[in-house]
Structure 1
């Protein structure tokens, strides 16, 4: 949902300032319902941007929902060309032979330092408002669960086929977590209703969160899983509800993603729903949840209280579970506050190098260089754990070296991991102790020479 802060930072200038395609809210509504213009993939692109908060980089969309950044880039250009052909709207730069297509759909600016990617798009106000009138609940958000549904009826369920089954055994096959630990986490989530998976980058928090939801649902049903990423500008108005500008210069009360997801779960009490929050400690949790911070507690599920806007009675249903994720190696963040710690159970996720499952994976590659490479990472993690300024929350995660087959586990790939993943991270950790970084550069160079 689009955010309109009262005062934008001085450098946050959205462009183009001198171009407008001239499409009204009603015109966008008609286009959204035209399956020749907004086919399945086109609607997925704008729906994902809307779901992400109304603005995003292509890389953020790739990381959150799947598909490549080129899917969003080229898909947006293709969609804009169709819209221009159907509506005859002006195209920026066309008069000088340098047509720029994306401004038909978005306004944009260079990405900030805290945003992944290079350029941020924001849905045009009229398009964003038109999307609010469309039922997007059945649009396929996550590419991993894409189906062969009818592209001509995107407003209806994407597919009538039952989602694939997903069991505890599937989870244990895919995630580096022992069975007894998995059962502990499930019991904790069933009891607390809210948990946070915390750990260093690369330990598989996001991967595990979604598959934990699948295993508790018993199927890969993405219609019952929602995911957002908190950041410093995320607010109650984005998350629950707030007044947003309309195309005619007025304001109207609009519901946020958590409000809508709670309503969806309330209407389906016999099945479980999972709300996943990435980077949960990057946002001001008390500000984002507001009065709902009490209602998400296990003892207050199903209890109604009036919301800040309009006084509507609202409750967080029993069948909704919240899974947050927290990066323990981010030193830019303050220690998580007591209000959040009291309402969530915390699950620490460690690198899996010492697990039997990883040992099986490693043996299956039959690569002595990889064995030495992993031994070096283990030694590095031991040094990081013992460092007074770091600790185990800064260790290198196993995801850097997973997913290889014997033929793809090459020396070149391992050099790339060392040069572009491990060493830059150490540069950040030991920015004031470059001799430590050089030591580990030499260690990995020796292993991979």
Structure 2
């Protein structure tokens, strides 16, 4: 990541180190940190794909040993929605594997693990049309039009019209959707793919109108427990199908833990405790099913004592979440944590 790239990035205009780099330690706001982290992640993904030969293997959800804890029928229903609508949002509480499932859906539709046909980004509050579609950027001696990440991916999809491409937007509701998509809000509709073309905001007079190809699928993910975000507007809801994912403390989850060396009694114990906690969260009028505890909190490997593994997850991952949920009732939080650890 070069200094010039950072200085050109929207949202970093007031960044302390970019305005005065004399010193050793500099403050970053949470928003600036998120923007820089996303830039680095994006660079790493591109570099990784450019420098490493990606191994492409045949894929089948039913034969995948690392598949999500969804039933095959659930996956089929999600895929059907994506094929019909072209755009879906996987929504659910933290820890239900939304991003993980999004990638598996892409593999199942392609019938292969071809990551060159998948692009993943994360929206944030400073993300703009200029980042996503097209914008004016400074060059050495002047300003020039620079294509955004979605524009380039659409172009790539058009060049291989017989292949399926997948654009995954993590935390889709964190961005200002109308501002980011602009005139493309209409073009992403399933019945307007390929056929409808419009000139872009920053396009030159001789530039061809832009369209979104039929072989490109949009998958968004949305955390339903994020209270800092506004309700998703109607414009987005009309163009996407919303699919709710729930925690899966089912037999597949139990089999997964068993294959990782956990005892049967312990697996039943933690499943029972988290289900009990989730019932309380679901019945809370200020929370509800969008705030449940997901199964993926308990899918990390265990290299030691299983009870110590569970205690660490409860103390350092579940407890902070409950403190946010019941921010005005610390006694309730302590009671629930004690029940989990008893």
TM above 0.5 = yes
CA distance in 2, matches of 1:205, 1:173: 15
CA distance in 2, matches of 1:357, 1:322: 28
Quote the residue 1:205 is aligned against: 98
Q: Kindly indicate whether the alpha-carbon contact (under 8 Å) linking 2:11 and 2:126 is maintained by their aligned counterparts in 1.
A: no
CA distance in 2, matches of 1:397, 1:207: 13
CA distance in 1, matches of 2:26, 2:183: 34
Quote the residue 2:278 is aligned against: 381
Report the Cα offset of residue 421 of structure 1: 0.7
Report the Cα offset of residue 17 of structure 1: 3.5
CA distance in 2, matches of 1:442, 1:388: 23
Query: Which 5+ residue runs of structure 1 have no aligned equivalent?
Result: 20-92, 94-99, 101-107, 124-130, 142-153
Summarize the Cα distance change of 1:6–1:121 in structure 2 as closer, same or farther, 3 Å threshold: closer
Report the Cα offset of residue 265 of structure 1: 0.1
Which of residues 281, 288, 298 is equivalent to 1:391? 288
The alignment of Structure 1 onto Structure 2 pairs a total of residues equal to 329
Quote the residue 1:247 is aligned against: 140
Which of residues 253, 258, 265 is equivalent to 1:358? 253
Q: 1:214 aligned to 2:104? A: no
Quote the residue 2:150 is aligned against: 258
Quote the residue 1:297 is aligned against: 189
Q: Kindly indicate whether the alpha-carbon contact (under 8 Å) linking 1:362 and 1:371 is maintained by their aligned counterparts in 2.
A: no
The structure that has the greater radius of gyration is: 1
Report the Cα offset of residue 112 of structure 1: 2.7
Summarize the Cα distance change of 1:385–1:298 in structure 2 as closer, same or farther, 3 Å threshold: same
Quote the residue 1:418 is aligned against: 314
| Structure having greater relative contact order (Cα 8 Å, sep ≥ 6) | 2
Summarize the Cα distance change of 1:6–1:440 in structure 2 as closer, same or farther, 3 Å threshold: closer
Quote the residue 2:328 is aligned against: 432
Q: 1:444 aligned to 2:314? A: no
Which of residues 38, 44, 48 is equivalent to 1:140? 48
Quote the residue 2:237 is aligned against: 341
Report the Cα offset of residue 174 of structure 1: 1.2
Report the Cα offset of residue 169 of structure 1: 1.6
In the TM superposition, what whole-angstrom CA distance separates every residue of 1:198-251 from its partner, at most 9, and x where no partner exists? Answer: 011110011111111111111111111111110110000000000011133x21
Summarize the Cα distance change of 1:137–1:271 in structure 2 as closer, same or farther, 3 Å threshold: farther
Could you state the TM-score of these two structures normalised by the residue count of structure 1?
Answer: 0.67
CA distance in 2, matches of 1:232, 1:421: 25
In the TM superposition, what whole-angstrom CA distance separates every residue of 1:357-376 from its partner, at most 9, and x where no partner exists? Answer: 12333455324234322211
What secondary structure is seen at the aligned counterpart in 2 of 1:416?
helix
Q: Kindly indicate whether the alpha-carbon contact (under 8 Å) linking 2:81 and 2:241 is maintained by their aligned counterparts in 1.
A: yes
Quote the residue 1:268 is aligned against: 160
CA distance in 2, matches of 1:240, 1:179: 35
CA distance in 2, matches of 1:238, 1:281: 16
Q: 1:280 aligned to 2:172? A: yes
Report the Cα offset of residue 411 of structure 1: 1.3
TM alignment of 1:31-70, pairs within 5 A: none
Which of residues 372, 381, 397 is equivalent to 2:269? 372
In the TM superposition, what whole-angstrom CA distance separates every residue of 1:51-81 from its partner, at most 9, and x where no partner exists? Answer: xxxxxxxxxxxxxxxxxxxxxxxxxxxxxxx
| Alignment RMSD | 2.9
Report the Cα offset of residue 306 of structure 1: 1.1
Runs of 4+ aligned structure 1 residues displaced above 6 Å come to 115-119
Summarize the Cα distance change of 1:186–1:122 in structure 2 as closer, same or farther, 3 Å threshold: closer
Quote the residue 1:31 is aligned against: none
CA distance in 2, matches of 1:117, 1:6: 10
Summarize the Cα distance change of 1:5–1:305 in structure 2 as closer, same or farther, 3 Å threshold: same
Report the Cα offset of residue 120 of structure 1: 5.8
Query: Which 5+ residue runs of structure 2 have no aligned equivalent?
Result: none
What secondary structure is seen at the aligned counterpart in 2 of 1:140?
helix
Summarize the Cα distance change of 1:201–1:409 in structure 2 as closer, same or farther, 3 Å threshold: farther
